[in-house]
Amino acid sequence: MKSNLRETLAAPTLSDENNTSGPAWIGVCLGLVAAILYSLKAIFVKLAYLPSGAVTEQVPPITLMMLRLGFSFPVYLIILVWVWRRTDNKPKPKQIGMAMMIGVMAYYVCTWLDFTGLQYITAQLERLLLFTYPAFVILLGAIFFGGRLTKWGIASVALAYGGLIIVFMGGDITESPNLLLGSGLVIGCAFVFALYQLLAKNFIDRIGPKLFTCLAMLGAASAIFLHFLINALHADGVSAAFDLPPRIYWIGLIIAVFSTLIPSFFMNSAIGRIGAQKVAMLGMIGPLATIIAAILVLGEPFGLWDGVGTAITIFGIALYMKSSKAKPRKT
């Protein structure tokens, strides 16, 4: 089983110097913009959860997910048809199915875990926890894809999680009655997202970033629409589920455009150009962008120990990714 995974997935995933296209600086820019836009998603979601006027009931996470895909899916569908018609070497049915399944993993499972976790924790803590996904990328790569763990790598991960411990013990951003539940959901999101990045690289190389992104979103949209329909039918009906304040629709549109459409294409293009591990390194900008936005927009606290713990975590992840280089698989 392990050998098969390496043969089918490891080479395109872990050999970041191979199977890339175009200048590297373009991939770096795309990865940075994607990381910042994705990091702002937590801010928009928290804004949607805030009570407004006479409306005090919190919008369900699946409803926000539905609005996100409802606004963005038509664009993906149009691009899918456009790219499909211009693709000579069309992917096989098995490749299409796998791309859609990977999309369900990233844009349905990950999103549900993330949006649900944000009900219980601050946007800053969410981004800091989600930021640990690069460690999962390299750990999973070492376990299943022929990567290599080093003593420096293990020490760096310990340092990163030491920073999280500092935040949990003395930070202001961890004040929540459901801290463990929210944190566990977001860490689960980080784990699944890391697995997505490792699996996605192979299919991006085979069918191209645009086609892969559209197929992935098609799979995710199907799962989200089904989840939303089941949830609405078990509640007050579909029409009642859409009876939302206008500001929720505006936030859904913003999330769809700026935290879904644009960064999804940018990130997958970056992975195709410079590889999953380098894109993971660029994600270090995410927590900083979230901290600034959470303080300015949401008014969240950020104390001394929050800063110390965040700095240690970022430094640990950076050191880990620098010291843990993928080992070329043996042939």
Q: How many CB atoms lie within 10 A of CB 9?
A: 20
CB contact set of 307 (below 8 Å; sequence gap of 6+):
none
In this structure, the dihedral spanned by the alpha carbons of residues 174, 54, 246 and 266, taken in order and rounded to 10 degrees, is: 0
Classify residue 328: in a domain, yes or no.
no
Higher local confidence (pLDDT), 313 or 20: 313
pLDDT at position 52 is 62
Per-residue confidence at 258, pLDDT binned at 50, 70, 90?
very high
| Lowest-confidence pick of 10-24, 152-166, 226-240, 259-273 | 10-24
The pLDDT of residue 144 is above 80 = no
Q: Which of 101-110, 120-129, 137-146 has the lowest mean pLDDT?
A: 137-146
Please tell me the predicted confidence (pLDDT) of residue 194.
87
Residue-level pLDDT at 1: 37
Decide if 329 is inside a domain. no
Count up the domains in the chain and report the number.
Answer: 1
User: Is the model more confident about 154 or about 169?
Assistant: 169
Q: What is the pLDDT of residue 26?
A: 87
**Structural domain that includes position 65:** 2-13+23-323
Q: Is residue 153 part of a domain?
A: yes
Domain membership flag for residue 62: yes
Q: What is the DSSP string of 246-310?
A: HHHHHHHHHHHIIIIIHHHHHHHHHHHHH-HHHHHHHTTHHHHHHHHHIIIII-----HHHHHHH
Asked whether the predicted pLDDT for residue 71 surpasses 50, the reply is: yes
Mean pLDDT check: name the lowest of 42-51, 183-192, 270-279.
Answer: 270-279
CA dihedral in degrees (221, 186, 281, 148; nearest 10)? -100
Model pLDDT, residue 180 = 92
% residues pLDDT > 90 (the chain) = 30
Residue 97 maps to a domain: yes
User: Half-sphere exposure of 117 toward its Cβ, with a 13 Å CA cutoff?
Assistant: 30
Question: What is the predicted pLDDT for the residue at 145?
Answer: 67
pLDDT of residue 63: 93
Residue 235 has pLDDT above 90, yes or no: no
* pLDDT over 90 (residue 185): yes
Contact of 203 with 120, CB cutoff 8 Å: no
Exposed / middle / buried, residue 1 (Cβ in 10 Å: 0-12, 13-18, 19+): exposed
pLDDT class of 323 with cuts at 50, 70, 90: low
Question: Is 330 part of a structural domain of the chain?
Answer: no
Q: Given this model, what pLDDT does residue 44 score?
A: 95
In a domain, 331, yes or no: no
Q: Examine the pLDDT at 267 and tell me if it is beyond 80.
A: yes
Residue 304 inside a domain? The answer is yes
